[in-house]
Amino acid sequence: MITIPQPQTGIIPLYERPAWKALQQHYAKVQNAHLRQMFAEDPQRAEHFAFEAVGLYFDYSKNRITDETVRLLLELANQSGLRARIDAMFSGEKINVTEKRAVLHVALRATKDESIMVEGKNVVPEVHAVLDQMTGFANQVRSGQWRGHTGKRVRNVINIGIGGSDLGPVMAYEALKYYSQRDMTFRFVSNVDGTDFAEATRDLSADETLFIVSSKTFTTLETMTNARTARKWALRALGDEKAVARHFVAVSTNTAEVKKFGIDPANMFQFWDWVGGRYSMDSAIGLSTMIAIGPDQFRAMLAGFHAMDEHFRTAAFDRNLPVLMGLLAVWYNNFFGSQTIAVLPYEQYLKRFPAYLQQLTMESNGKRVTLDGTRVEYQTGPIFWGEPGTNGQHSFYQLIHQGTKLTPCDFVGFFQTLNSLGDHHDLLMSNVFAQAEALAFGKTPEEVREEGTPDWLVPHRTFEGNHPSNVILAERLTPETLGKLVALYEHSVFTQGTIWQIDSFDQWGVELGKVLAQRIIPELEATEEPSLKHDSSTNALIRRYRNLKGGAARMKKNG
């Protein structure tokens, strides 16, 4: 007999929740209220809608909200069963209902003395055992004790993985580069496009290179293709199968496949099916991060995650950073009809943070059915995007300021820079404050006219303002702060998913393309013209590719 997973009990559909209905009425009243007016009416607004928690200062005063908005959003959280869902996640319940899995990335950063049970077993000791194994290995590599096949020390580490097995490691490496061992090179190969591998290895010596093959399933096409290419590349230079043991380690949940690939299970670092790929950067998937920054800094990052977890789990919702951020995202997504959220870190080291958040947020909340399979009648996950400041200001901010779309923005900045150079940091931070100010308050036609602008130019130079933003500030970018920031978004995503009653932890939407690609591969590679049974467009594209794919080789031959 098939057991159909039982999702949240006792939660009525979103549109029927009283707080939702009240929010609709409230929205009708406040939708045109301008931030200019709200700030003018309440001189204390900045203090009112800002607070500090776990070392992050969160200013959400430049949002199109009133006390009543916040009160109703908090009511919505309560009526959506958020408290019970948080407790269910932290206690190891199988809240990923479609995959029948617990969702326990929070266990990855639990302290040794905590106990988190999955099917009657405390998983925290296993987490710490893997952390200790990673620590031992990272120390050996960093100190040069771990030698390659020819006896040389490892100078280069290449993480091969994709999605959650890549974006977390590469984002964390870039974010924490300041703390990294600078006499080592770290690279990340993800794309099945051979260029990725070729460029990552072209200037490296195989005898000094360690590959970390990171894949939860150890079956992902891109990763396994790159891993096989890496093995050939290494063996071509090192000439001995035995070299694999010194130059390849694996991070996976799948011991059988790791063995099949030829990696010694002694060089395998485990994680568990209750860690989602996009929630795994603090598991063994973070091995490259730990080698780069060292075990102590890695544990500091985990402490940051844990601090945010505890805040999310215990703080009252009206002073709960992830809850408020999540509710604000719902407010714009479902009431103002915003389609996207821009994440704008004013910190060069966070240049991959928006890309990382794209998978975290969009693979989590890009769903169109509720936990029990009912088609939703409302918008779910917004599109996340962004670039580090100030670069974005000179490209896409124009649209945010004067375009027709309402794009809520998250600004992330730091009081102190890691690279103090003249007045660079003051210039950088002045732009955070200026952009948030300009977005909120704009510039009226009267103000533009007063500057002597001719009438015909006034509309072009007017900024309507009323564009909402959050400003998140921390002391400086440290491993701990990074952990807090990532956990903040993880839990904000969870809060949003809870309101929408969707499964934020599965990702069925990535399957169809994978299956179709598997069918097309032999059609591209067949020596005889294959009989194609796709639609006419796909058939024509395949035929054209088959006819022209030898072009480069022909050009080379002819040239």
Residues near ligand F6P (CB under 6 A) are 162-165, 215-217, 220, 223, 277-278, 363, 507, 510
Q: Which residue, 80 or 190, has its beta carbon nearer to ligand F6P?
A: 190
Q: Which residue, 148 or 168, has its beta carbon nearer to ligand F6P?
A: 168
CB neighbours of residue 390 within 10 Å: 18
Tokens of 243: 């070299």
**Among 260, 253, 247, CA closest to 285:** 253
Tokens of 182: 């600078």
Tokens of 521: 């591969």
Active site residue 394: yes
- Of the CA atoms within 13 Å of residue 513, those in its CB half-sphere come to 6
Q: Which residue, 163 or 479, has its beta carbon nearer to ligand F6P?
A: 163
Cα separations (Å) of 430 from 424, 425, 427?
10, 8, 5
Active site residue 514: yes
Tokens of 556: 């080379």
Residue in 363, 387, 480, 490 annotated catalytic: 363
CB neighbours of residue 384 within 10 Å: 23
Q: Which residue, 69 or 96, has its beta carbon nearer to ligand F6P?
A: 96
Q: Which residue, 172 or 409, has its beta carbon nearer to ligand F6P?
A: 172
**Amino acid type, 221:** L
Shortest distance in whole angstroms from residue 75 CB to ligand F6P? 33
Residue in 21, 260, 514, 549 annotated catalytic: 514
- 10 Å CB burial of residue 88 (0-12, 13-18, 19+) is middle
Shortest distance in whole angstroms from residue 220 CB to ligand F6P? 3
Q: Where are the alpha helices (DSSP H) in 239-340?
A: 243-247, 255-261, 287-293, 295-314, 321-330
Shortest distance in whole angstroms from residue 319 CB to ligand F6P? 32
Shortest distance in whole angstroms from residue 73 CB to ligand F6P? 29
Residue in 232, 394, 533, 557 annotated catalytic: 394
Cis omega before residue 390 (within 30°)? yes
Look at strands 209-214 and 248-252 and give their pairing: parallel
Shortest distance in whole angstroms from residue 504 CB to ligand F6P? 12
Q: Which residue, 28 or 510, has its beta carbon nearer to ligand F6P?
A: 510
Active site residue 451: no
Shortest distance in whole angstroms from residue 215 CB to ligand F6P? 3
- 10 Å CB burial of residue 377 (0-12, 13-18, 19+) is exposed
The CB-nearest residue to ligand F6P is 277
Q: What do you get for the CA distance between the two ends of the chain, in Å?
A: 66
**Residues with catalytic annotation?**
363, 394, 514
